[in-house]
Chains A and B, each alone.
Chain A
Amino acid sequence: MSDVLDIVVRLLAIFVAFLVFPLVIGQTEHKVMAHMQGRLGPMYAGGFHGWAQLVADGVKFAQKEDIVPAGADRRVFQLAPAVALLPYLLVLAAIPLGPHTVGRDLDAGIFFVLAVMGVGVLGSIMAGWASANKFSLLGGLRTAAQLLAYELPMLLAAASVAMAAGTLSLPGILEGFHWWWVPWQIVGGVVFFVAGLAELQRPPFDMPVADSEIIFGAYTEYTGLRFALFLLAEYAGIVVLCALTSVLFLGGWHGPFGAAGLGWLWMVLKTVVLAFVVIWLRVTYPRLREDQLQKLAWTALIPLALAQIALTGVIKVVIS
C-alpha cells in the first residue's frame, strides 16, 4: 500500500511542478522583457504588477474557438500539440531535485531525457505538415533541419559528462560531482546549453517561427487551447533545459554551503538563473539566418563538443 502511495505522491509532485514552473517562467519573461526594453508590460490583471496576466491569458485561450483548417489533416493536426507537450512532462520525472528527491532514478537517465526531448520536436513537424499551409510547412522543415543539426552536439556534450562521472544516471552523476568539474566541462556546458536553446527554437534560434518571414511557422494555423499548449511546451522546455544544464554541468544540488537540507534550493536557484539567461538572450540577440544556424552547429558546436570529449578522456585517464 505504501508503495502505491509513494508512486501517487511522486506523480502528483511531478505534475504540480509541470504546471507551476512553466507559468512562473512565462510570467518572469513578461516582466524581464518589459524591464530590459524600458516599458511596463501587463500591469493591471490581478492588481500587483499584473501577476494574474497569465491566468487571464489562459482563460482567453480556453474561450477561443478551436478551428481546424478545412484542408488540414484533422487527426494529425489535433494530435500535434499533445506530442509536443507530453515529452517534457515525462522528462521531469527523471530530473533530480535533491540528493534523494527524484521522480525515478533511471539507469540510463541521460539517454532517456535526450531521447524523449527529441520526440517533442516531432510535434512541431507534425503541426507544420498537417496544417496545409505553406508557411507552416516551411516552419516544419526548418524545425526538422534544426533538430538534425543540434541533436548531435547536445548528445556529445552530455556524453562528455557521462564519461567524467562514469555513469549515465542523473543522480549518479551528481553524486560523483566535484567543484572542479565546472571549469573542466565548461565548454561542453556552453555547447549543451546553446544546442538546447536551438532545439527549443528559442531566440536567437527561432528561425522556424520567424514571425517576420513565415508568420508563426508550424503554429500559424493554431488557435485557442491547442496554441496555448504549444506555448506551454516552449516554457516547459525552458524549465527542462535549464534543470538539465544545472544537473549535468553546474552540480545540481551541490552548493558552497548548506549541503544538508538546502540541496533543492541550490538546484532551483541554478535553474532560475539559467532561465533568466534564456530570456536575456531572447531580448538581446538578433535572429540567426538559416545558413548561419546550420554553420554554427556543424562548424562550431560539433568540433567544440568533440574537443571537450577528448579533453575529458585525457584528464580522466591522467587522474585515474
Chain B
Amino acid sequence: MTLAAASHGFLTPSGVEIAFVLVGIVTFGAALITVTTRQLVHAALWLVVALGGIAVEYLLLTAEFIAWVQVLIYVGSVVVLLLFGLMLTKAPIGRSPDADSGNRRAALAVAVASAAALVWVVVDAFRATWITLGGAAQGSTEASGRTLFQYWVLPFEALSVLLLAALVGAIVLSRRNPEAPPAAPAPGAATARAPREEQR
C-alpha cells in the first residue's frame, strides 16, 4: 500500500473515489439490512439494492460489461427466482415470527472470517496496482473477453462443467420416480416410499 500512497496519496481523493466510498457504504448498509430484517420479502428487496450497489461500483471502476452482467444475472434473475420461491412458499406481509435463526453467532463468525480472508487476499494481490480511471476504459467488453479467454480459460471451462453438473443434478432430483404408480398407490407402498423420496 505504501507504493500507491506515495505516488497518488489518499488525502486528496478524486470525485470518483468519493462516490466509490459512498456507494460502498450504501451497499454495505443494504446488505446489513438484508440479513437483519424480520420481513422476508423486504430482505429480498434490500438484496436488490445491495447487488445494484455492487453493479454501480463496477461501473465506477470502468468495468461496464461486468456491471451489466451483474444486473442481468443477479437483479434480473436470481432475485426474481428468490421472490418466486418466497411467494410460492411463505411470504407474509409484515414480520415473520420464524425469520430468526439460532445460528446467528456462528453465522456472524463465518461471515467476518470469510470477509477478512477475502479482503486480505485482495489487498495482498493488488498491493500496489493502480487503475487510472481517466482515459480508455480498462474493463471494456473487449478487454474482459481477452483476459477471460486468454489467461483464464481453464477456470472458465471448469466452472461451466461444474454448472452443468449442478444442472443435471437438479433434473435428477426433481424427476419423479419412474416406477411409481401415477395415481392412488396402495397406502402401504406410499408410506414405504415417502422416507426414501425425502432422502433423495
Q: A residues touching B (Cβ–Cβ < 8 Å)? A: 71-73, 76, 106-108, 111-112, 114-116, 118-119, 121-122, 125-126, 128-130, 132, 137, 140-141, 144-145, 147-148, 151, 155, 167-168
Contacts and interface: CB of A to CB of B under 8 A. Distances in A.
Contacts of A130: 93
A118 B48 contact: no
Interface in B34-85: 41-42, 45, 48, 64-65, 68-69, 71-72, 75-77, 79-81, 83-84
Contacts of B140: 107
A71 B93 contact: yes
B106 interface: no
25 contacts: A73-B41, A76-B42, A76-B45, A106-B64, A107-B64, A107-B137, A108-B64, A112-B68, A114-B72, A114-B76, A115-B75, A118-B75, A125-B80, A125-B83, A125-B84, A126-B45, A129-B41, A129-B87, A129-B93, A130-B93, A141-B84, A141-B87, A144-B83, A147-B76, A151-B77
B197 to A, nearest CB: 24
Most buried by B among A129, A132, A141: A129
A145 B75 contact: no
A148 B83 CA distance: 11
Contacts of B23: none
Nearest to B41: A129
Most buried by A among B48, B72, B75, B140: B72
Give the dominant DSSP class at A's interface. Answer: helix
B5 interface: no
Q: What 6 A-B pairs are tightest by C-beta distance, nearest first?
A: A118-B76, A115-B72, A111-B68, A144-B84, A115-B71, A108-B65
Given A76-B41, A118-B77, 14 more contacts: A73-B93, A111-B65, A111-B68, A111-B69, A115-B76, A122-B48, A122-B76, A125-B84, A125-B87, A144-B87, A145-B84, A148-B84, A151-B76, A151-B77
B131 interface: no
Contacts of A73: 41, 93-94
Contacts of A118: 71-72, 75-77, 80
A141 B87 CA distance: 7
Given A73-B93, A76-B41, A115-B72, A108 B83 contact: no
Given A73-B93, A107-B137, A122 B75 contact: yes
